[in-house]
Amino acid sequence: MKQSSYSGFFKLSPEERLREVTEFCNLTSEEQEILKDPNCLDMDKADHMIENVIGRFALPLGVGLNFKINGKDYLIPMVSEEPSVVAAASNAAKIIRESGGFTTSNTGSVMIAQIQITDVADPHFAKIVIEENKEKIKTLCNEKDPILVKFGGGMEELEVRIIESIIGKMVIVHLKVNTLDAMGANAVNTMAEAVSPLLEELTGGKAFLRILSNLAIHRLARSRVKIKKETIGEDIVDKIITAYAFAEADPFRAVTHNKGIMNGIIPVVLATGNDTRAIESGAHAYASITGRYTSLTTWEKDKNGDLVGTIELPMAVGLVGGATKIHPTARVAVKMLGVKSAAELGEIIASVGLANNFAAIKALATEGIQRGHMSLHARNLATVAGAKGEVLELIVAQMIKEKNVRLEYAQELLKKFNSK
């Protein structure tokens, strides 16, 4: 049975790491070349992805190790420019693995399309009329995407809200659409456009904005862990809960706490070609859904004194359409995960977010966040200064020892070592 648990993976060369990943994920020689080639996205594909293309921009692709989710081992593709993120995820997953790993669930794959109806003389009456025509609206919507309906998706429910605004009352119609393994923006937007004339006819109002909502409250991903007190120590359990209590109570702390969660989430979303802005905005909106911005995770102590943690957030990711299918590296990243559904992908991403959150608050509650950050920062500065190989390691060690992590000092040390 393949295991994602490795010892000394960071000591391997990039080529050796790729060989390990190739064996675990059954990558072909062509897929290996895609991962190694910064130009795998050719200019023609790039030119069709966005407008005004003049080039391509490469970022490091690493792998999160040690993840056991619902009893299955995963190597997690992560694209990030920030040092310590991948290492933090891997270290946290190793600790969590000792207590059984991550357990996940989801609430389905329903997205919301919103239609804003203005200039309605009798909004409460109009609300009832719209609800009475639910089946007619549903039929009209589903005619726009017969393939989605064929595979079990399509519009399922209708919700009508009346909201107050600075220009008066508005009638807001929510189409709840099961988008299956697609993120679903195109599908729900098309349905919203199609049904708008009928809604105008029913209400006597004007259908204005017709667009999906990224606050995907019907598409939540959940992950939970239990970390035995013997694994990390009872005092650290208490310290982590104290750190979490700060984030739960104070939005100034919560936003940085949640940024640490997104440190894990966004790299996987990006690696798989999904929409990072949709996930980011949905997550922060969900953190505020009660009217007060707070933590996306919870940390508690159970009756045995073990640490238990949970995460729940909107996870509108897809496996079909968009960059997930166009970008060669995104296709390889999806294969590396071996996921069978968008829901499974969302659960994995949520688990990585929970791992990075645990790593961050554990570091904050013990040695402080700077210790790991400065070590990696020193390595970056030594690289920028031009150091390589053994000399690079010597410079990093010297800067850390003297707590003098600056580019100028790295350059000074490089001259010193080169002169020897």
Determine the pLDDT at residue 250. 98
9-107+219-368 is a CATH 3.30.230.10 domain: no
Could you give phi then psi for residue 246, rounded to 5 degrees?
-60, -50
Look at domain 371-419 and name its CATH class.
mainly alpha
| CA distance readout (Å), 33 to 54, 334, 376, 382 | 23, 16, 27, 29
Tens digits of per-residue pLDDT, 120-148?
999 999 999 999 999 999 999 999 999 99
Q: Is residue 368 predicted with pLDDT exceeding 70?
A: no
47: nearest Cα among 55, 58, 37: 55
Contact 117, 192 (CB under 8 A): no
Helix (H, G, I), strand (E, B) or coil at 178: strand
Residue keyed to tokens 């977010």: 353
Average pLDDT over residues 155-159: 97
What is the pLDDT at residue 48? 87
Give the span between the Cα atoms of 212 and 318, in whole angstroms: 15
- The pLDDT of residue 140: 97
Largest CA distance in the chain: 86
259 is an active site residue: yes
pLDDT greater than 80 at residue 371:
no
Least-confidence region, from 62-76, 187-201, 403-417: 403-417
Decide if 205 contacts 117 (C-beta within 8 A): yes
pLDDT of residue 2: 77
What confidence tier does 86 reach under pLDDT thresholds 50, 70, 90? very high
Tokens standing for 251? Answer: 């939005």
> Catalytic site residue 136?
no
The domains of the chain are located at 9-107+219-368, 110-213, 371-419
Among 378, 291, 329, smallest CA distance to 57 is for 329
Task: Look at residue 420 and tell me whether its pLDDT is greater than 80.
Answer: no
Among residues 72, 174, 228, 259, the one annotated as catalytic is 259
Name every residue whose Cβ is closer than 8 Å to that of residue 394 and which is 6 or more positions away in sequence: 413, 417
Per-residue confidence (pLDDT) for residue 369, from 0 to 100: 56
Residue 69: strand, helix, or coil:
strand
User: Is 90 exceeded by the pLDDT of residue 70?
Assistant: yes
Q: Residues 275, 306, 312, 344: which is the catalytic one?
A: 275
263: closest CA among 102, 84, 104, 91? Answer: 84
Q: What is the domain class of 110-213 according to CATH?
A: alpha beta
pTM of this structure: 0.89
Percent of the chain, pLDDT > 70?
Answer: 98
d(CA 89, CA 86): 5
82 is a catalytic site residue: yes
CB atoms within 10 A of CB 383: 14
Distances (CA, A) of 331 to 28, 71, 262, 274: 12, 24, 22, 11
Judge contact between 158 and 174, C-beta under 8 A: yes
Which pLDDT band, with edges at 50, 70 and 90, does 399 fall under? Answer: confident
Residue 383 pLDDT: 87
What would the pLDDT profile of 289-323 be if each residue is shown by its tens digit?
A: 999 999 999 999 999 999 999 999 999 999 998 88
Q: Is the pLDDT of residue 377 over 90?
A: no
> How does pLDDT run across 145-154, given as a tens digit for each residue?
999 999 999 9
* pLDDT at residue 71 in the model: 97
Residues 6+ apart with CB under 8 A from 249: 294
Q: Give me the catalytic one of 23, 37, 82, 300.
A: 82
